Amino acid sequence: MSLTTDLPKYRPDLVGEDAGDECYLDLTPKEPREETRIVFCWCPPAPEKRLPGFWLGKHLVTQAQWAALGLENRSRFHESSQQPVDNVSWEDAGEFAQRSQAVMPAGQELWLPAEAQWERACRSGRDLDFGIGSGRSLNSQLANFNGNYPTGEGSGSFDWLYREKTLPVGCFPPNAWGLHDMHGQLWEWCAERYDKEGVARVLRGGSWDDGGRLAAAGIRRRYVPRARYVRFGLRVSPSSIQNRKRA
Q: Please give the backbone phi and psi of residue 41, each rounded to the nearest 5 degrees, phi first.
A: -110, 145
Residue 215 placed within a domain: yes
Confidence of residue 15 (pLDDT cuts 50, 70, 90): very high
Burial group, residue 39, by CB count within 10 angstroms (0-12, 13-18, 19+): middle
* Residue 17 domain-assigned (yes or no): no
**Residue 101: per-residue pLDDT:** 94
In a domain, 146, yes or no: yes
pLDDT of the residue at 153: 76
Q: List pLDDT tens digits, range 146-183.
A: 999 998 876 554 557 899 999 999 999 999 999 999 99
How many CA atoms, within 13 angstroms, populate the side-chain half-sphere of residue 47?
Answer: 0
- Look up the CATH number of the domain holding residue 205: 3.90.1580.10
Do 45 and 202 form a contact (C-beta atoms < 8 A)? Answer: no
| Strand order from edge to edge, sheet including 37-43 | 22-26, 37-43, 54-57
Q: What is the pLDDT of residues 190-228, one digit of tens each?
A: 999 999 889 999 999 999 999 999 999 999 999 999 999
- Does residue 7 lie in a domain region? no
Tell whether 245 is covered by a domain. no
> How many angstroms separate the first and last alpha carbons of the chain?
37
Q: In Å, what is the CA distance from 187 to each residue of 81, 159, 231, 243?
A: 19, 24, 6, 21
To the nearest 10°, the Cα dihedral for 35, 206, 130, 25? -20
Q: What is the pLDDT of residues 61-107, one digit of tens each?
A: 999 999 999 999 999 999 999 999 999 999 999 999 999 999 999 88
- What is the span of the domain harbouring residue 140? 22-233
Q: Assess if residue 217 is contained within a domain.
A: yes
Kindly state whether residue 12 falls inside one of the protein's structural domains.
no
- pLDDT band of residue 246 (cuts 50, 70, 90) is low
Report how far residue 235's alpha carbon sits from residue 190's, in angstroms, rounded to the nearest whole number: 9
Cα distances from 244 to residues 1, 47, 247, in angstroms, run 28, 22, 9
Question: What average pLDDT does range 14-36 have in this prediction?
Answer: 95
- What three-state secondary structure class fits 144? strand
Helix or strand holding residue 68 (H, E)? helix 63-68
Question: For the chain, how many structural domains are there in total?
Answer: 1
Whether residue 247 is contained in a domain is answered as no
Choice between 114 and 5, residue whose per-residue pLDDT is larger: 114
Q: Which of 55, 59, 62 is nearest to 108 (CA)?
A: 55
> Whole-prediction pTM value?
0.93
- How much is the pLDDT for 5? 58
- Residue 27 pLDDT greater than 80, yes or no: yes
Which residues 6+ apart lie within 8 Å of 196 measured at CB? none
Q: What are the strands of the beta sheet with 220-223, ordered from one edge?
A: 220-223, 201-204, 187-193, 232-233
Looking at residues 109-113, what average pLDDT do you find?
96
